[in-house]
Chain A
Amino acid sequence: MAAGSTYTPIATNTLSSAASSVTFSSISGAYTDLVVVCNAGVTASGGYTLAMQLNGDTGNNYSGTRLSGNGTTAASYRASNLNYYFAGLNMPDTLTTNVIFHLMNYSNTTTYKTALIRMNDVGVGTAAMACLWRNTAAITSINLSAEVGATTLLAGSTFTLYGIAAA
């Protein structure tokens, strides 16, 4: 079995001021999976999850299934025909929301793209998601926002993109 070092940092973006979105573009197809690690909050809390759009697709081509817990109750929820991947539960106006996106087999051009997502916030709860983008295109750009500009992301929010290459 051949072995090779991987899990490579590709890019990091730390917001120096509040912004409506963050974009990773011109993503190489040299990896097998992408991982996006986020610590974020929003300027106006009260109903906005972190949202991801792929390749500039703003159509209703996304969906997701969520399992969540808030310290009292476990619950599950589904949303179909959305215009973004939704990342768990709503974010507060503090930098306490952590989200990790696993974009699996992102560069193949045969299958729709599935993401596994983990989210936690000490004041809100924890969640896991399976999300689908109904498109067979390789993922070449990623846009992150608070529900597509519904509010802005806090200054100090960090977003790091990693690539994992299979043998």
Chain B
Amino acid sequence: MTGILGGLIGSYAAATTAYDSIATTTVGSGGTSTITFSSIPQTYTHLQIRAIAREKAGSGSLYNGLFATFNSDTGSNYAGHFLRGSGSAAAAGGGGTQTSMTFGGIEQGDNTASTFGANVIDVLDYANTSKYKTVRTLFGYDANGSGYIVFASDLWQSTSAVTSITLTPANGFAQYSSFALYGIKGA
């Protein structure tokens, strides 16, 4: 359709469906060390990953990085920043020249049983071949006495289209961790 202000802002077309489910992985008995989404279709504008997750083992740190790479790139081509709340204080941090992203984090395996952290991860303009790729994440968990809520931003310093996403937390994924990949269309 053409908008009333079409002469000023141009025409726009109504998209039929804007948000598609692409793939899902749920971790089975025994857990797993890595989850990979590969052969990601290039027909969307943005990607979103929605997850509940927990590490298979604990490390005494309440939560850890949900270490992630694009297109199997393990070079020092990533950077990130975060703003988080621990339940008692707000804090911020970050770093450059990293070999992976953190996607906010993942609840570690020593926390209260049956609690799983959650992530909503947006990979923006992932198929564009002219700019570096930016990711924003909202991650959090609460275990009735401990918890974190985290805003995170990650950068992949590559102009390549994102065709695969690999997630490798330090202590593996616990059973029932589940990751769903969605594609968001532009008009």
Chain A positions near chain B (C-beta within 8 angstroms)? 1-7, 32-33, 63-69, 74-78, 80-81, 102, 104-105, 108, 110-112, 114-116, 118, 128-132, 134, 136, 164-167
Contact = CB atoms under 8 A, between A and B. Distances in A.
Nearest to B178: A105
Nearest to B116: A111
14 contacts: A2-B23, A3-B21, A63-B145, A69-B90, A74-B83, A77-B85, A78-B145, A81-B144, A105-B52, A111-B52, A128-B85, A128-B140, A132-B142, A167-B180
Nearest to B148: A65
A105 to B, nearest CB: 5
B21 A166 contact: yes
A126 to B, nearest CB: 11
Nearest to B43: A3
A80 B18 CA distance: 38
A165 B182 CA distance: 10
Contacts of B101: none
B24 interface: yes
Interface of B: 17-24, 39-41, 50-52, 83-90, 114-118, 120, 138-145, 147-151, 176, 178, 180-183
Given A80-B144, A114-B142, A166-B21, A67 B176 contact: no
B52 A74 contact: no
